Structure 1
Amino acid sequence: MITVTGANKHYGSFAALDDVTLDIPSGSLTALLGPSGSGKSTLLRSIAGLESLDSGVVIIADKDVTRVPPQKRDIGFVFQHYAAFKHMTVRDNVAFGLKIRKRPKNEVNKRVDELLKIVGLAGFQHRYPAQLSGGQRQRMALARALAVDPQVLLLDEPFGALDAKVRADLRTWLRRLHEEVHVTTVLVTHDQQEALDVADRIAVLNKGRIEQVGTPEDLYDRPANEFVMSFLGEVAKLNGHLVRPHDIRLGRDPSMALVEHEGTQHSAGVTRATVERVVYLGFEVRVELRNEATGDLFSAQVTRGDSEALGLRDGETVYARATRIPKLPERVADAAGDSAPDETLSLSK
């Protein structure tokens, strides 16, 4: 268990952390997610001991480590850039932490062989970092961090320097790795898909404060506020309400039935809209639309089959409705109010 209580960190007048309190369960993979400047890397570095807090407490495994130096916190740390020893082989890089701890040679060899197999680098032990791909170097960095059997593994944007395909592959690999080694892991990322794909729990940060903590499902389906909803996945604004694009249904019939899906307290009504653009994204199709009453742009996400069945074409008129509107304590209001009389078609159920 990692517990951060009342953490504050200022750089001049800028509050990087503003009274942050967070519990990270043992054995979990927790993502710290937020935009640039939200405080997620500062929080991670404070857990690692690489940043000193102005005030607050950091506890790891029931031990107050707030004033304990990084090398004595029993953590493994992986940065975005691999920080490999270029003159050492993969094997020597992974073994480095064990050797400086003067572990017996047979123990070092056994542990390194085990880790290279786990991270998929068993055949690469005699190569140098320059002979590896970016994804292989990052797996080597993770093996090196795990070699000393840390209580906590901290990952600071570990896949940020890699291309999209390699990032996706490594996300899947990291999830499997975590299930195998079960070390308490904290991942900093600004990539919403990465957090949803990998983490057991997500803490969303904004302007140095935690907006919400929960499972990916909790945060996606039950966001605490509009910031969380907007940051964790795509959103569309439909008649003053934030909705998920995949929760917008399109049709040709203006009298389409209003549907109140579970979790929806009210309906945003049916909106007459003009198709601005149809974008094919493999199985899914993004339909960019303009509200004919207000001129506002919004997007809906439908299947390719639904798009073809509707025969969607640029410039045509369709009718849109939200099948689900998340319950939020706040609502986005248009300049003229939450809704205007001519924004929706008033239909009876």
Structure 2
Amino acid sequence: MISVIGARKNYGDFAALDDLTLEIPAGSLTALLGPSGSGKSTLLRSIAGLENPDGGTITIAGKDVTGVPPQKRDIGFVFQHYAAFKHMTVRDNVAFGLKIRKRPKNEITKKVNDLLEIVGLDGFQHRYPAQLSGGQRQRMALARALAVDPQVLLLDEPFGALDAKVREDLRTWLRRLHDEVHVTTVLVTHDQEEALDVADRIAVLNKGRIEQVGTPRDLYDRPANHFVMSFLGPVAKLNGQLVRPHDIRVGRDPSMAVAQKAGTAESAGVTRATVERVVHLGFEVRVELRNAATGDLFAAQVTRGDSEALQLQEGETVYARATLIPDIPS
């Protein structure tokens, strides 16, 4: 387990960490999610020992490491940029930490071969970093970090420099990798989809503080406040209420009914709106609408089937109603 208690870090008048406390369970994959300047990278670097907090304590597996240098914290670290040794082969890059620790040659060979197979780079041992794609270089970096059997793996936006399709593929691969090696992993990201896709738990940061910690489903379905809801996925404002675009029903009947059960949006009422734009996004359709009473813009997501049935056209009048409004504490 990683325990951060009362961590504080200031850069002049700016509080990067503001009395922050967080528990990260052993064996979990926890995402630190937040906007730029929220403190997530400072927190990760403090856990790594690359930043010295102005106050508070950090423990790893029950040991206080607050004043311990990075090389003695038993961690692996992967940055956004690969930091590969360009003059070394893939095999030598992965083996570097083991050689520094003077492990036996046969142990190094077996460990490197096993890891390259796990990360999907078997057969690439003799290539150089320049001969690999961006995704392959990042897999090599992860193998190098795992080679020394760290207690904790820290990932600082590891896929941020890659294109969208490669990021998506590597997210799936990272989740499978974690399920296989079970090392306690902390991932810094500003990508909500990445956090929801990969993590067991998400800690949402804002202005150096923790807003909410929980499973992806807990945070998405039961956000602690408006900031968490707005940051974790798209939102629309309907009659003064924050709702998810996929929880808005669109139709031509002004008396649309919604399910009568707890959590439904009876208080939201029906909103008359004008269709501004219809955007086809593959398996779903985004309908951009303007509230006829207030002039505010909002968006609804509907299925392709509903879109084809409605045959929505720009400029026509429709009616919108929320089918679910999250119960956000005041």
* TM-score, normalised by the number of residues in structure 1: 0.93
1:255: how far off? 1.3
1:68-120 superposed Cα distances (whole Å, 9 cap, x missing partner): 00000000000000000000000000000000000000000000000000000
> Quick one: which amino acid aligns to residue 191 of structure 1?
D
Structure 2 CA distance for aligned equivalents of residues 4 and 44 of structure 1: 11
Consecutive unaligned residues in structure 1, runs of 5 or more: 331-349
What residue number does 2:209 align with? 209
What secondary structure, in the 3-state scheme, does the structure 2 residue paired with 1:256 have? Answer: coil
Matches within 5 A, 1:74-223: 74-223=74-223
Preserved CA contact (<8 Å) 2:258 2:264: no
Letter matched to residue 179 of structure 2: E
d(CA) in 1 for partners of 2:23, 2:36: 22
Q: What's the counterpart of residue 307 of structure 1?
A: 307
Q: Deviations over 1:140-168 (max 9, x none)?
A: 00000000000000000000000000000
Q: Does the CA-based 8 Å contact 1:267-1:322 persist in structure 2? A: no
Show the counterpart of 2:66.
66
Shift of 1:328: 1.2
Aligned counterparts of 2:197 and 2:256: Cα–Cα separation in 1: 35
Per the TM alignment, residue 51 of structure 1 is displaced from its structure 2 partner at its CA by: 0.2
- Structure 1 distance, partners of 2:261, 2:138, is 44
- Superposed CA deviations along residues 22-81 of structure 1, whole A, max 9, x for unmatched, are 000000000000000000000000000000000000000000000000000000000000
- Residue in 2 aligned with 1:247? 247
Q: Residue 343 of structure 1 corresponds to which residue in structure 2? A: none
Shift of 1:265: 6.8
The answer to whether the Cα contact below 8 Å between 1:258 and 1:270 also exists between their aligned partners in 2 is no
Number of positions where the alignment pairs a residue of Structure 1 with one of Structure 2: 330
Unaligned ranges ≥5, structure 2: none
**Residue 43 of structure 1 aligns with which residue?**
43
Residues 207-286 of structure 1 correspond to what in structure 2 (within 5 A)? 207-264=207-264, 266-286=266-286
**What amino acid is aligned across from residue 61 of structure 1 in structure 2?**
A
Q: Shift of the alpha carbon at 1:251?
A: 1.0
SS in 1 for 2:267: coil
Distance 2:177 2:45 in 1: 23
CA distance in 2, matches of 1:31, 1:56: 21
**Secondary structure of the corresponding residue to residue 6 of structure 1:** strand
Paired residue secondary structure (1:223): coil
- Say whether the 8 Å CA contact 1:246–1:302 is kept in structure 2: yes
Deviation at 1:267, TM superposition (A): 2.5
The DSSP-based 3-state class of the residue aligned with 1:125 is coil
Which residue of structure 2 lines up, in the alignment, with residue 341 of structure 1? none
1:319 matched to 2:327? The reply is no
| Structure 1 CA distance for aligned equivalents of residues 16 and 108 of structure 2 | 40
Runs of 4+ in 1 over 6 A off after TM superposition: none
Residues 1:295 and 2:295 are matched in the alignment: yes
Instruction: Write the distance in 2 (CA, Å) between the matches of 1:97 and 1:185.
Output: 19
Alignment identity in percent?
85
TM-score (norm 2): 0.99
Q: Give the conservation status (yes or no) of the 8 Å contact 1:3–1:59.
A: yes
- The 2-side partners of 1:25 and 1:291 are apart by 45
